[in-house]
């Protein structure tokens, strides 16, 4: 992409309404524009990042054996009246009436809708287990939308729903989600800690929230520092082997890690003082096994081999895809701007032409730009008639992980400079060398 042909409305001023780094940087980098309170347009740069995150989230779900689909944003009120949540959900639900006077709503989540699909098509234990998921816009009329897309009213969420015949199988579904979420966050370059979460009136032990540690987080968190040091790494995961999946879950959940709602002061204080950590976190996902809550009220039953019918065991599992954009920025920025992890960077490489008016330099940039495009790597070429300083600032602000600087002096001896956004280290290369180096970026 040539910057002169792109749409990148970067802003110099720090917008006064933005209270946290990710909100400020997303506005300054031209990633989003507010449409109304808590509702945003995703401008091209922001949209690229959102799609990258979505792709990683989806890939990891598919690897775990979960099935992608798409449900609508608008749902009929009847389904929610059946489950009893139409009244319970309160003012957060955006209620709509169509021209036929039918009550509709903009979905804040999809338990009812998926249960309705399930009961229409599945009636035998033989078809279980199944997990269906979609990535779709949600609407919750939050009392205080804030921090940009972090607490929006309209937001993008991956929500998956598991259906199992019994508790053992349901726990394996729960565990698959826990592990696939860990893997997803790692691929996004994030450390997200699974913390025991409140299960509300349903009770039980089976809910975890995933929290990214950040001073600007809205949740108070308490944890054993050991858990913050764990990672899956390149370990092979066999989602079809319940025992090994349970092993990974145990490894990540055996330490104390809780949010305020489930915090147990006594248990926490029993930890060695060196291990005790308290701080703030951003909730980027939650998983929940709730049994037959919806299947009973909405009559989603399956036949057992002996002919009897039982309500199906269910769980729901969400990842805040749009919130993740903000969480990743909170965890990866400096005073100059965003520092994207390579996996979600809108462009992996930036070319800065230090002197656009110089023919040799511009010819060299063209050659480089074409070669990188041909390699299939995403590159942003700053071909504006601007001072070098302004171009460097733009690349730093929008967080391009690798910058290639091309100037008249280097071009004279066939050299360019490759600079890492993260470490600021630069290395000089010839054209051939730099193209080689680009094949193994990290
Ligand atoms: P919160 O406690 O932050 O309000 P929640 O517990 O109500 O979130 P869930 O129903 O668990 O949210 O939704 C799954 C995920 O969707 C959350 O973990 C979060 O990452 C994301 N999410 C929820 N509400 C919002 C919102 N208003 N804006 C952006 N993302 C959100
Ligand atoms: Mg939650």
Q: Give per-10-residue mean pLDDT for the chain (442 aa).
A: 98 87 97 97 98 98 98 98 94 97 98 98 97 98 96 98 97 98 98 93 85 95 97 93 97 97 96 97 97 95 96 98 98 98 98 97 98 97 97 98 98 98 98 97 88
Measured distance CA(312)–CA(306) in Å, rounded: 16
Residue 288's pLDDT is: 97
Mapped onto helix, strand or coil, the DSSP state of residue 259 is: strand
Residues 6+ apart with CB under 8 A from 110: 71, 75, 134, 136, 159, 161
Ligand 1, atom 21, residue with closest C-alpha: 320
Considering every ligand atom, which ligand is closest to the CA of 260?
Answer: 1
| Mean pLDDT over the full length of the chain | 96
Residue 4's pLDDT is: 98
What residue spans in the chain does CATH classification 3.40.50.800 cover? 349-438
Measured distance CA(244)–CA(172) in Å, rounded: 10
Residue 125's pLDDT is: 97
Q: How far is the CA of 26 from the centre of ligand 2 (A)?
A: 24
Q: How far is the CA of 108 from the centre of ligand 2 (A)?
A: 12
Residue 306's pLDDT is: 95
Q: How far is the CA of 318 from the centre of ligand 2 (A)?
A: 8
R_g of the chain, CA atoms, integer Å: 25
Residue 90's pLDDT is: 93
Which one of 158, 221, 320 would you pick to mutate in the ligand 1 pocket, going by the greatest count of ligand atoms within 8 A of its CB? Answer: 320
**Quick one: CATH architecture of 21-338?**
2-Layer Sandwich (3.30)
pLDDT tens for 205-262 read 799 999 999 999 999 999 999 999 999 988 899 999 999 999 999 999 999 999 999 9
Measured distance CA(403)–CA(424) in Å, rounded: 10
What residue spans in the chain does CATH classification 3.30.930.10 cover? 21-338
**Beta strand pairing status for 349-353 and 402-406?**
parallel
**Which tokens sit at 219?**
């949740």
Taking domain 349-438, whether its CATH number is 3.10.420.10 is answered by no
Considering every ligand atom, which ligand is closest to the CA of 318?
Answer: 1
3-class SS letters over 32-65: EEEEECCEEEECHHHHHHHHHHHHHHHHHHHHCC
**Which tokens sit at 1?**
């992409």
Residue 13's pLDDT is: 85
Measured distance CA(172)–CA(129) in Å, rounded: 10
Residue 88's pLDDT is: 92
């Amino acid at each position: 992409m040539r910057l002169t042909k792109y749409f990148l409305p970067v802003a110099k001023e720090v917008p006064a309404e933005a209270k946290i780094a990710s909100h400020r940087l997303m506005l300054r980098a031209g990633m989003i524009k507010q449409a109304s309170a808590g509702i945003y347009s995703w401008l091209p740069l922001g949209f690229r990042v959102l799609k990258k995150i979505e792709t990683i989230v989806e890939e990891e779900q598919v690897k775990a054996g979960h099935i992608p689909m798409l449900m609508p944003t608008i749902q009929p009120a009847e389904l929610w009246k059946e489950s009893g949540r139409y009244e319970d959900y309160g003012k957060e639900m955006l209620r709509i009436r169509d021209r036929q006077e039918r009550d509709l709503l903009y979905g804040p989540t999809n338990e009812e809708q998926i249960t309705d699909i399930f009961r229409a098509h599945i009636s035998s234990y033989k078809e279980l287990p199944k997990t269906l998921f979609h990535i779709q816009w949600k609407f919750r009329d939050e009392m205080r939308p804030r921090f940009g897309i972090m607490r929006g009213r309209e937001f993008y969420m991956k929500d998956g729903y598991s259906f199992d015949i019994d508790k053992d199988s349901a726990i394996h579904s729960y565990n698959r989600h826990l592990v696939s979420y860990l893997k997803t966050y790692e691929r996004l370059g994030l450390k997200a800690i699974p913390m025991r979460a409140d299960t509300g009136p349903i009770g039980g032990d089976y809910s975890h929230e995933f929290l990214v540690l950040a001073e600007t987080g809205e949740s108070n968190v308490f944890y054993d520092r050991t858990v913050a040091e764990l990672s899956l790494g390149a370990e092979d995961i066999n989602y079809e082997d319940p025992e090994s999946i349970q092993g990974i879950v145990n490894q990540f959940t055996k330490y104390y890690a809780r949010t305020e709602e489930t915090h147990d002061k006594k248990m926490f204080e029993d930890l060695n003082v060196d291990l005790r950590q308290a701080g703030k976190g951003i909730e980027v996902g939650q998983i929940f096994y709730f049994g037959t809550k919806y299947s009973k009220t909405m009559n989603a039953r399956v036949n057992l081999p002996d002919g009897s019918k039982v309500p199906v065991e269910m769980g729901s599992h969400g990842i805040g895809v749009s919130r993740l954009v903000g969480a990743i920025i909170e965890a990866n920025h400096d005073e100059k701007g965003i520092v994207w992890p390579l996996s979600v960077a809108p462009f992996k490489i930036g070319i800065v032409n230090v002197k656009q008016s110089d023919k040799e330099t511009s010819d060299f940039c063209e050659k480089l730009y074409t070669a990188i495009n041909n390699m299939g790597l995403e590159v942003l070429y700053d071909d504006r008639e601007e001072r070098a300083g302004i171009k460097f600032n733009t690349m730093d602000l929008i967080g391009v992980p690798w910058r290639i600087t091309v100037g008249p002096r280097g071009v004279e001896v066939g050299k360019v400079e490759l600079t890492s956004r993260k470490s600021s280290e630069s290395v000089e290369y010839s054209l051939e060398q730099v193209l080689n180096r680009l094949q193994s970026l990290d």
